[in-house]
Chain A
């Protein structure tokens, strides 16, 4: 059982476990001294080690029960003014926390049924019943008090039955409890006493406690008061800042950004109101001041029915929206038993869509009304926006021209590229781009780098979305095709060079070609397809591998395509022109080999052993030939 929870603590496992346990309680006797009939310690350990992430959880659970009790009382006829109070009493030996609400209270029978029975809750819905406004549902929250105390005392009087007496319940962590009629008279409601256990004393400090309660209940409409000696202080004075009214747009902006700064200790660039019907969500998204990435999931602060659920929800927004962090309240989403995240159900996925819509509409609106701000955001968050544009044509159309791309002429916005180029040429990968960008730039061509996340997908969608612009994928060998050809006389002259180069390079699966291109000082350009790249990596690895792995490399090579490479000489280069005139097989082969290896080096292709040898031998022989002649 522990192993199950270890893997993924969820309501199913826990409630299942608890129903088994509670089935046994039914046999318990009816005298005053009762027994949970289970080893509570084990369960408490389970809760504190596996379910709850902090020991403060008991405050959240007490608050939640108080809020639910008030909600239950509000359903009864008759008026009352809801209130919750907290007080810390310094005792002789240990401090005691007193937590009080004027909610529905409990009758004796309800005490036995709900308080003393783990896994039993008065808030469970009958089949078909509408989801209520209760936050509790599992019937285990109260147990969290045992994480910090050995004994819980509760004094309670039901508001449901007029004139009902009050009762006092004492539960102990060894699993025993007792109930008796309360000695004194008091108003309907519930008061819980938690006496700090030795090892939990540090949690029982005024400031720590009150700050935590404010943290969990800051958005609650029920007034929460902290009592300290003679003074009473309201802990949740302000409601949600995004629900408040402001004298001006400017005041609102300032207040919201300040709220974001306090919530996340970050100076955000902007804020965006959020709403979702499906999840009953309202709140704000804050635009991060730095570029985030898809992999680093943003953590959001989420309230459930106005009580803090978690500070680290990461499944609230669609994947593309990694440029914001949010604070929201949800009323229709289902929490897990730890009450620290949401179930991934239909309501959640609908909520994700609707919240995504809010962000998207905000961006679209910026395009209309505050283009400068949009450009500032794009400069930081273009990755996030691109990942949305990939799945959303309309958004892409509106924002496309502002999105930056790397090109052979430097980084440019797509709009600028589209204005300058009739055909938008792009390389699919960073490798292909590097092979060609400087040569393309020398010819005056603009080539876009499609090698970063989402860039190729977007570029390929340009014709569909815009109609007029054509796009064309280029790689090195295609680029070479577009270079100027030699005239027939020149070609005749260069024939021997090509023939000997082919012969010299055949063992390296490379063929020779000659064209005229810029820059003049570049003697040759090496080009290799993606398949060829893979083949090279297989061969390089084979060189260092043991028998087993080198055999595997051979098998993989058998599976891959041929991937011929190409070395294109530049006839504009003076050295190449002299070689073309040379007509001497031995020297031509040596020269071709050396130029081949040099081009590999320039293109950052790691050398295979044989290629290194080719270079060394070629250089020495060329030197010798030079000395001889």
Chain B
């Protein structure tokens, strides 16, 4: 192995870690992976993929994380090397990130998803780790797929299984539990679970409360607590606006803004965040964004005097125009096309009409 290649890879990884979360950090780690692979150096390949998993997993490209993780597991399974980097226990923590996102791609089947969790549980078990986090992820996946009965089952198992040190931090646990409670219709319980995060600011970590605020917005608004909701909107949006990993929560903020007819702010957010969709996010996260976007556009159309509006949309969107003048109708139609396409693909996979109903609700 030539050492200048090694320093190049290390430099790329350093740059990747120094970059803010998002496409740049990911691309730098990917380049490191390519260099390591073309030099046929598995050790560097593992290192670089570790960085890629981190960058992609926290920067909005879970598809890239999945690919890197698959390669890493394959090296561990080959069992040819003894270094800790090549032992699966080194990677089990990151397996959780994979499990968190696997349901977000409609081409990945239900069978594949449950096989993945079985594989994860097996690996956790043979390394002496509790299956608690796996059950939590199963519950999460079922909720993402709108399979709520199954979700209840896994939720119970998750809560009944004792934890060990592979468990998530208390902040993440509370965020997840509240999220599940909301999805399963327990608003009061959810708000109680979220309280130490959003009210007291006592529980926090790298992604909490960032995500948590966005979850509470619509339920609070529906409950008539508009003022509290808009306070949470302000606090939450500030924390997520810089990282393309947060497409889905931005979508939820948009939905909230649309509901209250804050269209000027909503349109500004659309202009700002639409570029994220061209470089990041999973299809399910895009769905959440388009729902919020449609809500804002519909509110804007209802409020507007004219039929058109000047907007700075990124070049990559299909309706893009040089002069930046868009008709409300064409924008909404475009959102509808995307929504139907995504919801159709997910519902076919999920075996229900969960997404279609969500979309219908947003159009109402």
Contacts and interface: CB of A to CB of B under 8 A. Distances in A.
Contact of B18 (A293, A343, A456, A545): A293
A387 B17 CA distance: 15
B67 A559 contact: no
Contacts of A456: 24
Nearest to A554: B107
Contact of A559 (B19, B27, B106): B106
B34 interface: yes
Interface residues of A, number: 50
A556 B28 contact: no
Contact of A451 (B28, B71, B74, B116): B28
Nearest to A387: B20
Nearest to B18: A293
Contacts of B207: none
Interface string A285-307: 00000000111000000000000
A13 B202 contact: yes
Contacts of A383: 18
B15 A452 contact: yes
Interface stretch (A40-48, A82-90, A108-116, A530-538): A530-538
B37 A606 contact: yes
A7 B170 contact: yes
Contact of A545 (B70, B108, B115, B170): B70
A215 interface: no
Contact of A8 (B37, B63, B77, B203): B203
A77 to B, nearest CB: 41
Given A429-B27, A606-B37, A556 B66 contact: yes
Contacts, number: 133
A465 interface: no
Contact of B37 (A540, A545, A546, A551): A540
B250 to A, nearest CB: 17
Grouping DSSP codes into helix (H, G, I), strand (E, B) and loop, the B interface class, with mixed when no group exceeds half, is helix
Contacts of A8: 202-204
A605 B67 contact: no
A545 B202 contact: no
Contacts of A466: none
Contacts of A344: 201
A295 B67 contact: no
A100 B33 CA distance: 64
B191 to A, nearest CB: 17
Given A295-B18, A604-B35, A541 B283 contact: no
B105 A556 contact: yes
B105 A555 contact: yes
Contacts of A560: 63
A551 B34 CA distance: 23
Interface in A2-23: 3-4, 7-8, 10, 12-13
Contacts of B31: 429-431, 434, 451
B70 A541 contact: yes
B71 A556 contact: no
A540 B33 CA distance: 12
B120 to A, nearest CB: 11
Interface in A595-616: 601, 604-607
A392 to B, nearest CB: 14
Given A7-B171, A604-B35, A548 B18 contact: no
B131 interface: no
Contact of B202 (A12, A453, A455, A607): A12
A559 B341 CA distance: 13
Interface string A518-551: 0000000000000001100110110011101111
Interface in A336-372: 343-344
A434 B12 CA distance: 13
Contacts of A607: 38
A245 interface: no
Interface in B96-129: 102, 105-109, 112, 115-116, 119
A7 B24 CA distance: 33
A558 interface: yes
Contacts of B19: 294, 452-454
Interface string A424-460: 0000111100100000000000000001111110000
Contacts of B15: 452-453
B71 A604 contact: no
A544 B71 contact: yes
B23 to A, nearest CB: 8
B64 interface: yes
Contacts of B37: 540, 606
Contact of B27 (A430, A537, A606): A430
A559 B20 contact: no
A219 interface: no
Nearest to A453: B19
B26 to A, nearest CB: 9
A591 interface: no
A47 B116 CA distance: 44
Contacts of B67: 534, 537-538, 541, 553, 556
Contacts of A548: 112, 115-116, 119
A453 B18 contact: yes
Contacts of B71: 540-541, 544-545
A200 interface: no
A222 B98 CA distance: 58
A410 B40 CA distance: 29
A38 interface: no
Contacts of B12: 430
A556 B38 contact: no
B73 interface: yes
A620 interface: no
B27 A556 contact: no
B27 A431 contact: yes
A552 interface: yes
Contacts of B17: 293, 295
A107 B75 CA distance: 73
Contacts of B23: 429
B285 interface: no
B30 interface: yes
Nearest to A293: B18
Contacts of A4: 202
B75 to A, nearest CB: 8
A559 B70 contact: no
A8 B70 CA distance: 35
A11 to B, nearest CB: 10
A388 B12 CA distance: 22
Contact of A555 (B25, B35, B107, B202): B107
Nearest to B199: A12
B119 A559 contact: no
B200 interface: yes
B169 interface: yes
Contacts of A533: 30
A605 B19 CA distance: 24
B107 A546 contact: no
A605 B37 CA distance: 8
A533 B23 CA distance: 14
A320 B119 CA distance: 42
Contact of A544 (B25, B40, B74): B74
A555 B110 CA distance: 12
17 contacts: A8-B202, A344-B201, A429-B24, A430-B12, A430-B27, A431-B34, A451-B24, A452-B28, A453-B18, A534-B67, A537-B67, A541-B74, A545-B74, A548-B112, A555-B108, A559-B63, A559-B106
Given A383-B18, A546-B77, 8 more contacts: A12-B202, A455-B24, A537-B30, A540-B37, A545-B74, A548-B115, A552-B70, A605-B38
Return the 6 tightest CB-CB contacts between A and B, nearest first: A606-B37, A453-B19, A293-B18, A429-B27, A558-B107, A555-B107
